[in-house]
Structure 1
Amino acid sequence: MAASTDDITRAETLTRYLHENIPLTQFMAIRALPSVPGQLRLSAPHAPNRNPHNTVFGGSLATLAIATGWTLLFDALQREGLKAALVIQHFACDYRAPAAAEFVAAARLPEDWPAFLDTLRNRGRARLNLPIQLSCTDQPVLTAHARYVAILER
């Protein structure tokens, strides 16, 4: 399925936001890829993220995973008209294989997203667990589980 003009524009807007507000994403050359609402993919090139073995530094893989979950939730909250402080609370990952080219992280809103929104609206604070997968040349390189906390700004 081809990306719509809206999906491409949203990806460019998210990339700009990340680079302006989280400087590390600019240094890593992270960019948002066109994705449908409720899903998000971020990518990063090999060169600025390489280690002495000419593979991607493990910290870059973890950072891309965390940024993907954060950006998915940031975007979804914006689409709901909600402004919230959004932070990572817990992160765990398994490195599955080395990456030696562009690497891509993907996440989607979980089934309990509506309950998360209800809690956030009613209590002003909510937590959400999110699985994130990274791949390189269509091979899995990292699986992660992250917990994010949102605090509604009133």
Structure 2
Amino acid sequence: MYKVVAPESDEAFDAYFQFRWQHLRQPWNFPPGSEKDEYEQVSEHRMIVDGKGNIVASGRVHLNTAEEAQIRHIAVHPDHQRKGIGQMMLGALENVARELGATRAVTNSRETSIDFFSSCGFAIEREAPNELGLLKRQQMVKKLSATDALVLHPKWCGELQRTWTDTIPITEHMGIRLHQYTGRTLETRASLNKNINIHGTMFAGSIFSLATLTGWGMIFLQLKERQLRGDIVLGDGDIHYHKPITMKPRAISNIETMSGKFAVLEKRKKCRIELEVEILDGDTPVAEFKGIYWVLPEPKAD
């Protein structure tokens, strides 16, 4: 399970900057300390950690103006590349930029990163100053809006939202919306106001429902990825609560936590899928859900 977190303690920041130097500066023989600049104190820092708390990615964002956010220093550990971690980090930084009020994001990309940023909606605007006087870069820009999110296969995502509305009415009552889909990660969000109890926190039952629907949605989209069809049902679910939700309910499912053999559906056999969903309040992890789902082959047409 991958989590996006903000470093808070001195130890966490030391590990964060060490990771940044190791993956962005050491390969070019720059000394420790070269990974930092004058914007560190006014920036929002994020890192992605694995289930053991190891840092697998880092990134930073700060405001150049009230409307423009600068995204910098995205790094992904080589062992975790090509798993959607880079998109997950970029999506998290873009969300921070929106919350800060930015309507435009810019990044100065090295030649090796241009394809990545292009695939995420950025376009080259002009040549940027060389990094540390040596590394050639291009300034890339992306327009942000309140509803803009990193969504792959928008038609499938729209179909999922409509399916929830039409066949699982609780999604409308809870204000559950698909927020982000990268092909490997699905994030959903819910309205706190529609799920608030007398203590001013989210009902535990609503948190469970958000988790199960997010897992259901992840399987729905993975079936689309494989051009398969089937009826998805929850077989069993287990959730552990750690903290209440008081601000922004979020649920994230990552493909790395999913196990099962979708191919058996082609033989018209039911498919058992296990996966995990992380529940957060903003950026704070508050609960973990483990679910067992069954995908049933559709009945043969007469």
Please report the TM-score for the alignment, with normalisation by the length of structure 2.
0.47
Match of 2:240 in 1: 94
Q: What is the Cα deviation at residue 6 of structure 1? A: 4.5
8 Å CA contact 1:10–1:34 kept in 2: the answer is: no
Q: In structure 1, what residue type is equivalent to 2:273?
A: L
Quote the residue 1:80 is aligned against.
Answer: 226
Q: Among 188, 193, 203, which residue is 1:42 paired with?
A: 188
- The corresponding residue for 1:146 is 291
- Separation in structure 1 between the aligned mates of residue 258 and residue 174 of structure 2, nearest angstrom: 31
1:62 matched to 2:216? The reply is: no
- Report the secondary structure of 1:61's partner residue: helix
Equivalent residue number for residue 117 of structure 1: 262
Contact 2:228 2:265 in 1 (8 A): no
Distance 1:10 1:84, change over 3 A: closer
Q: Deviations over 1:67-106 (max 9, x none)?
A: 0000110111122221101100010010010001121101
- Structure 2, unaligned stretches of length 5 or more? 1-89, 91-119, 121-148
AA aligned opposite 1:139: T
Question: How high is the sequence identity, in percent, across the aligned residues?
Answer: 25
Which range moves more in the overlay, 129-138 or 78-87? 78-87
Give TM-score scaled by structure 1 length. 0.88
User: Retained in 2: the 8 A contact 1:134–1:143?
Assistant: yes
Residue in 2 that maps onto 1:132: 277
CA–CA separation in structure 1 for the residues paired with 2:193 and 2:275? 28
CA distance in 2, matches of 1:105, 1:135: 6
Q: Please give the alpha-carbon distance, in whole angstroms, between the structure 2 residues aligned to 1:104 and 1:94.
A: 15
Bigger relative CO (Cα 8 Å, ≥ 6 apart): 1
Based on CA coordinates, which of the two structures has the bigger radius of gyration? 2
CA 125–10 in structure 1, closer or farther in 2 if over 3 Å, else same = closer
Alpha-carbon deviation of 1:63?
0.2
Question: Structure 1 residues 93, 111: CA separation in 2 closer, same or farther (over 3 Å shift)?
Answer: closer
Residue identity opposite 1:37 in structure 2: G
1:25 equivalent among 150, 167, 171:
171
* Change in CA separation of 1:56 and 1:85 when aligned onto 2, cut-off 3 Å: same
Which of the pair is proportionally richer in helix? 1
* Amino acid of the structure 2 residue aligned with 1:47: N
Matching residue within 104, 117, 124 for 2:250: 104
2:269, 2:291 → 1: CA distance?
20
Distance 1:5 1:39, change over 3 A: closer
Structure 1 equivalent of residue 16 of structure 2: none
8 Å contact from structure 1 (residues 30, 45) kept in 2:
yes
After TM superposition, give the deviation of residue 111 of structure 1 in Å. 6.7
Query: Structure 1: which 5+ runs fail to align?
Result: none
CA shift at 1:151, angstroms?
Answer: 1.0
- Deviant stretches of 4+, over 6 Å: none
8 Å CA contact retained: 2:257, 2:276: no
Post-superposition offset of 1:9: 5.4
Task: Give 1:14 shift.
Answer: 2.5
